[in-house]
Structure formats: C-alpha cells, structure tokens
Amino acid sequence: MTVHPDMHGEVAGRLAALEQRYTTTRRAVVETLSRAGRPVTIPEILSSTPLLPQSSAYRTLAVLIEAGVARRVTGDGDHGRFELAEELSGHHHHLVCEVCGTVDDVPPSTRLERALDEAARAAAEDQGYTVTGHRFDLVGRCPTCR
Amino acid sequence: MTVHPDMHGEVAGRLAALEQRYTTTRRAVVETLSRAGRPVTIPEILSSTPLLPQSSAYRTLAVLIEAGVARRVTGDGDHGRFELAEELSGHHHHLVCEVCGTVDDVPPSTRLERALDEAARAAAEDQGYTVTGHRFDLVGRCPTCR
DNA sequence: CTTTCTGCAAACGATTTGCAGCAGC
DNA sequence: GCTGCTGCAAATCGTTTGCAGAAAG
C-alpha cells in the first residue's frame, strides 16, 4: 500500500520542517510501517527491526507523529498500534479482529465515503461540533480466528 | 439516552448469569454510566460517585464488561473511557473532540447504517473476515474547544 | 565542530491484584 | 454462616524521560 510516490523524500521534508534529521533509525521505522501495510504494535516493530531498543522505537514514533508522518490508532489490546499518516499511505479503514486484536487495512469505497461525509456534516450541525475527520473500523474475526 | 425499559433488571440478570451479585457499588457505577450518556473516564466516574475507591471502579467495570453490560471505548487521551453496552444504551456513534478528548454520543442515521453495513459486507468478502459490527467515530472540535 | 539522536536505566502513571475484613443472599 | 465483594496498598507493565556518549550535517 505505497501510495505516495516519494515516501522517503516526503518524510525527510516533514522532518526537516521541524528541524529534525532523517536518520537511519527513523528511516528503518518508516520502512517497517510502510511494509506492514497495517497498524503495528511496538513489539511488532521491534521484531522486524533487530537491534532497535524499545525506547528508541517509542521516541522515533513520537517524532514521526509530531511531524505528521505517522499516527497512533486505537488499540483494543495492551499495546498501541502505529501506522503511516494517510497522506502517505492513502485514506483507508480498518478491519479489527475481536479475537486476536490484529488490524488490517481496507480501502474505502466511494459510496461509503460519501455517506460518511454526509453523516459528519449532519452530526456537526446537530451538536455544534466542527468535524475534521472520521474513523471507521469494521469489527469481526480474521480468517485465522474464524 | 435510556433505551432499555428495565435497565437494572437486565443488568442484574446478566450478572446473575455469571453468578455475580448486583451490589450497591455496581448499581452506582451503572447509574453513572447511564446518566452520563457518553463514554466516561475513571476519574469522571470517581467524581460522580463519592467514596468509590479507584480500584473498585476498575474492578467493577471489569465485571460489567465481562457480563456484557459495559464496554471500553478507545480513548485518545491517557484514560480509557467506558460506556453501557449498546444493548442497553442503543446503537450510536461518537463525536470525539481532538482537543480535550471528550466523547459525545450521536445517534446513527438509517441511511448511514445502510452504507456502513454494505461496506462491511464488501470488506468481509474481500479479506476473509467475518464482520460482526462496526465503530464509527467523528473527530473534530467540540463547542467548548472550537 | 555543533546540534540533534540514541541507548541505557530509572521514573511514571494507568490499571491490576493479594489479602483481610465487610456485605449480600 | 458462606461466598463473594470491597478497600487498601503494593505490584505490573506499557510508555516516557534524564543523561552521557554517538552520529548527522
């Protein structure tokens, strides 16, 4: 799910805007997030990036989030889950397995997006909210836990 | 937002099914969740239930969740948020304030639900998931944080 | 060179839990 | 009266942070 044509360049730019360097460690984490194609936990990041200390993983993610490169998504389990920002990975939704907690990405349908936007507008008007985005997760059982 | 006609009776029944008693403390927490009409944090529960120790609040909620009376919803902030199960409060969605983290309930529209269900079906087929439900949160700014 | 990063280990803070006494049935 | 529930305080565990040496530009 590599939607952005020059991901690393874009990341470097966003980091530079905050006077942050695009180091080897950071590149490795971005690479991991990109390859995963779904929100991953810290333990998962650590196992796919040998020699990376846990504290560096957390710190790197904090920076990436600050730079708008990554974001933390709601985890049902113990660990938080992280993924690339939608500007880099493309807008999508999640399939959450209620048994094992795994989260997969799912592309949005045009019709669904239209309905979601409409709902957002209606809700905003009703309760005085200014809606800036939405989260839509499908909950169920993954093929493994079926 | 009291949708269930005999909430306490229903709660008592669900607890009884697990050989759990519907004690004063538990009733107080259920009452608090019901009155809030939106997902609340432990600190909020404690302040609206004087004399309730923190550990009892957590323990009570664990039991209520086990009994299918309450559920934990994804919090963006530090604390988790809890609400009554949808069988008791009715199906609804959330308005999440990205500034203060407050979460309000919002009733679903028929049209939106239809689109969501359709998306669920499509996604389930595509990726081998069995979809049992969904979560739809609108993110924005509440009237206070506007 | 100078400034920012990284690793380590200690600190934090939300949530959980062992144990002894209290309440529900 | 039993059995389960509650309070207290201590333990857990994911996450954050201070500090000194390493790497980036």
More confident: A128 or A54: A54
Q: Are B129 and A123 inside 8 Å of each other by CB?
A: no
* CATH no. of B7-140: 1.10.10.10
pLDDT at A84: 97
pLDDT of residue B122: 78
Phi, psi at residue A137, to the nearest 5°? -120, 135
Work out whether strand B130-141 and strand B93-97 pair parallel, antiparallel, or are unpaired: parallel
Which residues in A lie closer than 8 A to residue B140 (C-beta atoms)?
120, 124, 129-133
- For residues A123, A125, A129, A131, the Cα torsion angle rounded to the nearest 10 degrees is 60
Chain B interface, best mutation among A93, A138, A146, by max B CB count within 10 A? A138
Helix axes B110-127, A110-127, angle to 10 degrees: 140
Residue whose tokens read 């269930």: B4
Convert the pLDDT of each residue in A46-71 to its tens digit.
Answer: 999 989 999 999 999 999 999 999 99
d(Cα A30, Cα A11) in Å, to the nearest integer? 8
Q: Which nucleotide lies nearest residue B59, CA to C1'?
A: C16
Residue A52 Cβ under 7 A from any strand C atom: yes
Instruction: Output the tens digit of pLDDT for each of chain B's 146 residues.
Output: 557 889 999 999 999 999 999 999 999 999 999 999 999 999 999 999 989 999 999 999 999 999 999 999 977 778 999 999 999 999 999 999 988 889 999 888 888 888 888 877 777 777 888 888 888 888 888 888 87
What's the CA–C1' distance between A21 and D11, in Å?
40
Q: pTM (2 decimals)? A: 0.90
Q: Which residues pair with B94 in a beta bridge?
A: B105, B137
The answer for residues whose C-beta is within 8 angstroms of residue B5's C-beta and 6 or more apart is: none
Q: Mean pLDDT lowest for which of A12-26, A128-142, B64-78, B109-123?
A: B109-123
Domain spans in chain A, listed from the N-terminal domain onward = 7-140
Please give the Cα distance from B46 to B26 (Å, whole number).
Answer: 13
Percent of chain A residues topping a pLDDT of 90 = 59
Contacts of B125 in chain A (CB under 8 A): none
Query: Whose CA is closest to A88, among A36, A34, A39, A42?
Result: A34
pLDDT attached to residue B145: 87
Q: What is the 3-state secondary structure (H, E, C) of chain B?
A: CCCCCCHHHHHHHHHHCCCCCCCHHHHHHHHHHHHHCCCEEHHHHHHCCCCCCHHHHHHHHHHHHHCCCEEEECCCCCCCEEEECHHHHCCCEEEEECCCCCEEEECCCHHHHHHHHHHHHHHHHHHCCEEEEEEEEEEEECCCCC
